[in-house]
Amino acid sequence: MDYFFLFKKIVNALASPVAVALVLLAAGFLLAAARKRRAGWWLAGAGFLALALFSFAFLPNRLVTPLEYRHPPLLETADLPEVGWVVVLAGGHRPDEALPLTSRLVESTLVRLVEGIRLHREIPGSGLLLSGGGVFHDQTSAELMAELAAALGVDPGAIRLEKESRDTASQAEILKDILGEEPFVLVTSASHMPRSVFLFQNRGMNPIPAPAGHLTSSEGGWDLFSLFPSSGHLRKAETAFRERLGLLWETLAGER
């Protein structure tokens, strides 16, 4: 068993803004119950403040927007160099055969796949390379993506699968053997693109970023709903935490 990989997954889950806020709240109430009221209420107040800050648009948008727009969307393909592959990185799936394909792929994977299919159809002669293993499941994300792509009209002969990877670093390592130094279009979530590009370029590869699934608008600004707390804002903050923590893990693992 790869204990470092398992350790990363656990820390990633516990380091989310919601988890941190709840830990602070729980610790505060426990201290208050143990008659250490001053310290307890300070901790509980910090937990409440953290949860409140991440529930409104201002701070989450400031955290995730720099990640999402470090690489611009790939809107036009006419001026691209000749590419053989459009590579789609999976973001996970649910191995529940009682669900339709569109529900078995998590939202991030679904959006990435749709964008990958769009680009594959716009780039003459390109193939669709779908990357994602099973991690904790026998069925892989790549297989489910291929099944859905075929159902949406993609020629199965144009699809190639990478089914062994467990995370972005292993995707880059395995795909290096397939792609070499040839340019390719890389599709993943906009917030995940900076880490992905770094990992691929670090191996001498030449990805052309095609970010998808943006959580924020390039125009910025405010609307009425920005004034209210929302789980959507918590999701943005969690995404920003996860991606920055991911870059830290790559540093600790010797990726740079």
Domain ranges of the chain: 3-67+227-252, 73-212
CB 207 within 8 A of CB 186: yes
Tell me the DSSP string of 122-157.
HSTT-EEEEE---TTSSS-HHHHHHHHHHHTT--GG
Q: Which helix (H) or strand (E) segment is 27 a member of?
A: helix 17-33
CATH of 73-212, one of 3.40.50.620, 3.30.2130.30, 3.50.50.60, 3.40.640.10: 3.40.50.620
Contacts 24+ apart (CB under 8 A), 119-123: 119/74, 119/77, 119/86, 119/185, 119/187, 119/210, 120/86, 120/154, 120/158, 122/77, 123/77, 123/80, 123/83, 123/86, 123/185
Count of CB atoms situated within 10 Å of the CB of 98: 6
Q: Please, which residues have CB within 8 angstroms of residue 212's CB and are 6 or more apart in sequence?
A: 73, 111, 112, 114, 115, 187, 188, 189, 190
pLDDT tens by residue, the chain, 256 residues: 465 666 667 777 777 888 989 999 999 999 998 888 899 999 999 999 999 999 999 999 999 999 999 999 999 998 899 999 999 999 999 988 899 999 999 999 999 999 999 999 999 999 999 999 987 777 899 999 999 999 999 999 999 999 999 899 999 999 999 999 999 999 999 999 999 999 999 999 999 999 999 999 887 666 677 788 999 999 999 999 999 888 877 777 654 4
pTM above the 0.75 mark? yes
Burial of 48-76, coded b for 16+ CB within 10 Å and e otherwise, reads eebbeebbbbebbbebbbebbbebeebee
Count of CB atoms situated within 10 Å of the CB of 92: 13
